[in-house]
Amino acid sequence: MNLYIELVDLTLEFKVLDNPIAQLWLERMSLRDQYPLDDPYRFYGFGSREEEAQLALQRIQTTCSEINKWNPIVEREIWSTDDQDTLNYLHNIFERYHGLLDTKPTHPVFGDFPQKIRQHLAELNVDVHRCESVARGSHPRFVCTWYGLPKTETLTDELLESYGSLQCKFGSVYLNYAEIGKTLEDLAMDKDNYISDDAFRPFNHYSADFNVRFYDTTPTVDHLFNLQNYFQQHQEFFNKHGYTEFNHPRLLPLKFPVAELVETMPREKLLEEIRQRQLVTKVYLE
């Protein structure tokens, strides 16, 4: 089984891996045609930092403006992708009005909002992460998620431990984080003062959603040390959530590969081809 992703006049081919997580992902992929692709322009790290910062700010400012036309709930403006505190504030608005995957929102029920506003609140989440990617010097990747596709399935600790990897490989397709909330890594990096205790969400649910990464990397020793240090500083918090050891597979920054690129051209040429075609037009399996 192969995965094909069509951009503008360019088709990328990926060989689906022979592992249990990939098979579970294929089951969810069989539902994708019933739902629209969230945002076919979710490409990161293919342009200059200046270009990407300008685009990210334009998108998030527009989204906030559209939400406030309905109800002025966004009380802060953002003028820099480096303003992590305001990004945390905006992400918290999404969490409170949308609700977590298994909890109701703390404000009027999300499903009762006008469809256009529900879409803008969902876009706010994506816009926040786009800004964060720019601020952190994102490596080239793109993301495919399907709006409305239920995120009801979960992965066992055994699967996460057996098939998760700290390494990112060029051209690999990975399960996308499907929770509404933040992982230990997010908490440690964001220093979020707005997030509620129940919005700590380690990797658990999965869907058809995936990301494709065009770089090779492994977390540095310093990065892992910083995450472990954050865990130890907040030991009581994590104990309360059932995590007593830092090396639990739901706490480590693991990636879960489901497919690998069939390489047909030099990597630098491929990156340039994608840079010129940052739009997903079709996703299918054969």
| CATH code where residue 147 lies | 2.40.100
- pLDDT tens-digit map of 24-46: 999 999 999 999 998 899 999 99
- Average pLDDT (234-253) is 94
Residue 56 banded pLDDT, cuts 50, 70, 90: very high
13: region left, alpha or beta (phi > 0 left; psi from -120 to 50 alpha) = beta
Do 101 and 224 fall within a single domain? no
Residues 127 and 268 in one domain: no
Question: What pLDDT band is residue 6 in, cutting at 50, 70 and 90?
Answer: very high
Query: Is residue 192 pLDDT above 80, yes or no?
Result: no
In angstroms, rounded to a whole number, what is the distance separating the alpha carbons of residues 149 and 179? Answer: 13
Joined tokens for residue 31: 């539902």
pLDDT at 59 over 90: yes
Tell me, yes or no, whether 262 and 156 share the same domain: yes
Residues 256 and 198 in one domain: yes
Burial class from Cβ neighbours inside 10 Å (0-12, 13-18, 19+) for residue 265 reads exposed
Question: How high is the pLDDT of residue 110?
Answer: 52
Domain boundary among 87, 114, 138: 138
- CA 95 to CA 81: how far, in whole Å? 20
Asked if 201 and 278 sit in the same domain, the reply is: yes
- What percent of the residues of the chain are helix, what percent strand, and what percent coil, each to the nearest 5? 40, 15, 40
What pLDDT does 233 receive? 93
> With left for phi above 0 and alpha for psi between -120 and 50, is residue 224 left, alpha or beta?
alpha
Q: What does pLDDT average to over the chain?
A: 90
Between 94-103, 141-150, 159-168, 212-221, the lowest mean confidence (pLDDT) is in 94-103
Tell whether the model's pLDDT for residue 13 goes beyond 60: yes
* Domains of the chain: total: 2
Mark whether 127 and 144 lie in a shared domain: no
Among 138, 165, 187, the domain-final residue is 138
- Average confidence (pLDDT) over 262-284: 97
Give the residue from 80, 108, 138 where a domain finishes: 138
Do residues 25 and 152 both lie within one domain? yes
Provide the token pair at 237.
């918090």
pLDDT tens profile 197-243: 777 889 999 999 999 999 999 999 999 999 999 999 999 999 999 99
Domain check: are 162 and 33 in the same one? yes
167 and 107 share a domain? no
Looking at the predicted structure, is the pLDDT value of residue 250 above 70?
yes
For a pLDDT cut of 70, what percent of the chain falls above it? 95
Query: Domain containing 130: what range?
Result: 47-138
- Predicted pLDDT at 112: 63
Highest mean pLDDT among 118-122, 166-170, 195-199: 166-170
158: tokens are 């055994």
Same domain (yes/no): 37, 145: yes
For residue 101, what pLDDT is reported? 54
Is the same domain home to 187 and 284? yes
Distance CA 21, CA 207 (A): 11
Q: Which pLDDT belongs to residue 99?
A: 65
pLDDT for position 33: 92
Strands, E assignment, the chain: 2-7, 10-16, 43-44, 141-144, 153-154, 172-175, 205-206, 210-213, 257-261, 282-285
pLDDT recorded at residue 9: 94
- End-to-end alpha carbon distance in the chain: 6
104 versus 188: which is more confidently predicted? Answer: 188
Are 134 and 38 within one domain? no
Structure tokens at 191: 């220093």
Structure token digits, residue 62: 């527009």
Q: Rounded mean pLDDT of 69-89?
A: 92
Tell me: pLDDT of 83 over 80.
yes
**pLDDT at residue 160 greater than cutoff 70:** yes
Nearest to 188 by CA among 144, 125, 139, 136: 136
